[in-house]
Structure 1
Amino acid sequence: MPQTLPLARTNLEARLFLRLQPCHGCGSTTCDFRSAVVNVAGDLVSRYTGTCAGCGVLREYEFRLPEQVLVPGVDTVRFGSDEPSELLDPGVWLWYSDQCARQVPESTDGLDERGRRAARHTLATALAAVHEVLKFVPDGSPSVPDSAFASVDGRAVYQREPARFDRDRLEAVRDHYANLLSAG
């Protein structure tokens, strides 16, 4: 059974995936998940359980654990190692990057230290999500292949503007976010 479970490369990736999953009972995405590592058929898996805030139904997800656990960085955001995500497709990753980038103020001049840290973390999250999209670009390819868009939401992002998934454009966005982080 565990080999058929999707891989959650990090807790951060799993929690983002969970936050985007609607309840099958009512459609709410609000759920406070708890996580535990459990033994399933002799294999360790990561189990997330919670009660839907909308209808009270118990929600449960299980994921394979990575071969090597990635330790979170102090001032960085990292969703996974070098392989592409099995939980989220490149369209969802780019959508999430956009959502994060929109939350970052153009200037942090009027923010206190806590606000500046939050803005930096949000920008670092947008940068990490762009890194995730780039993992779907095969070596030597100019863009993310059409076949990588496995979800309805991800495919919709791709269909609205497929050129956003060109390697050069993704690298330009990545570099822009990295430069903003290093300047701030």
Structure 2
Amino acid sequence: MVLRLARTNVEAHLFIELHPCETCGETRFTPPSSVVVVGDDLASRYAGPCPRCGTEREFTFRLPEKVTLPDEEEPAFGVDGGASEIIDAGEWLWVADLIIRNTPAEPNEGMTAEQRRQALIDLRIAAAAVGEVIKFVPPGADAVPVHALWTERGRSVYDAEPGRFRKIRLEAVQRTYRELSDGFATR
């Protein structure tokens, strides 16, 4: 059995969230994790019952050689520079889009300090997700290749607007999300 690498715990949890229960469609699934040995690899195993229907679910990912601790202020899904093995380029852009649809672009007078902080983190997560799309662009290329879209969701995002997968456009979007996040920083 060849396990795919989850570069961080955050990436593993996002993958799990993107794959709802096949029986009932529930996306919530927060089972305990355990470290197991699969073949010659250390792996992280998430297993337990679906909270809605009770169907047993299990996800197992190869662990990276170097485990990094998350930084809440600077979200990162993969710290090694390589593209994800478990979430395709289109899904990363879908995640960024989902976050942005639910996040204000600028602070307003009625926001609490906690709401401002959450918007800052959400915008940084969206920027990090776009950064993950950029990792799929091969050196010397100007766009994400079609083979980097292996899921139905990822391909549908690409098919809707392939120009969004050009490197220059992705870099501009990532930079914009970072700049917007800075507007929420507490001074």
Which residue of structure 1 lines up, in the alignment, with residue 91 of structure 2? 92
Task: Judge conservation of contact 1:32–1:51 (CA < 8 Å) in 2.
Answer: no
How far the C-alpha of 1:126 sits from its partner, in A, is: 0.3
**Structure 1: runs of 5+ lacking an equivalent:** none
Render the CA deviation track for 1:61-99: whole Å, top value 9, x for unaligned: 100000111221241100002100011100000000011
* Partner SS, residue 39 of structure 1: strand
Which residue of structure 1 lines up, in the alignment, with residue 167 of structure 2? 167
How far the C-alpha of 1:162 sits from its partner, in A, is: 0.3
Task: Judge conservation of contact 2:120–2:182 (CA < 8 Å) in 1.
Answer: no
**Structure 2: runs of 5+ lacking an equivalent:** none
Which residue of structure 2 lines up, in the alignment, with residue 118 of structure 1? 118
Which residue of structure 1 lines up, in the alignment, with residue 26 of structure 2? 28
Which residue of structure 1 lines up, in the alignment, with residue 103 of structure 2? 104
Matches within 5 A, 1:1-184: 1=1, 4-41=2-39, 43-81=41-79, 82-109=81-108, 110-184=110-184
Render the CA deviation track for 1:103-122: whole Å, top value 9, x for unaligned: 21133222111111111111
Name the amino acid aligned to 2:16.
L
Render the CA deviation track for 1:9-64: whole Å, top value 9, x for unaligned: 00000000001112122232232222121233454210011311232111111000
How far the C-alpha of 1:161 sits from its partner, in A, is: 0.4
Taking a change above 3 Å as real, the CA distance of residues 74 and 19 of structure 1, as seen in their structure-2 partners, is: closer
Taking a change above 3 Å as real, the CA distance of residues 140 and 118 of structure 1, as seen in their structure-2 partners, is: same
Q: How many Å separate the matches in 1 of 2:116 and 2:93? A: 23
Aligned length: 182
Task: Judge conservation of contact 1:8–1:14 (CA < 8 Å) in 2.
Answer: yes
Q: How many Å separate the matches in 1 of 2:150 and 2:72? A: 32
**How well do the aligned residues superpose, as a CA RMSD in angstroms?**
1.4
Task: Judge conservation of contact 2:92–2:129 (CA < 8 Å) in 1.
Answer: yes
4+ aligned runs moved over 4 Å, structure 1: none
Q: TM-score, normalised by structure 2?
A: 0.92
Q: How many Å separate the matches in 1 of 2:126 and 2:112? A: 21
* Partner SS, residue 15 of structure 1: helix
Render the CA deviation track for 1:117-142: whole Å, top value 9, x for unaligned: 11111111100000000000011111
* Partner SS, residue 37 of structure 1: strand
Percent identical: 47
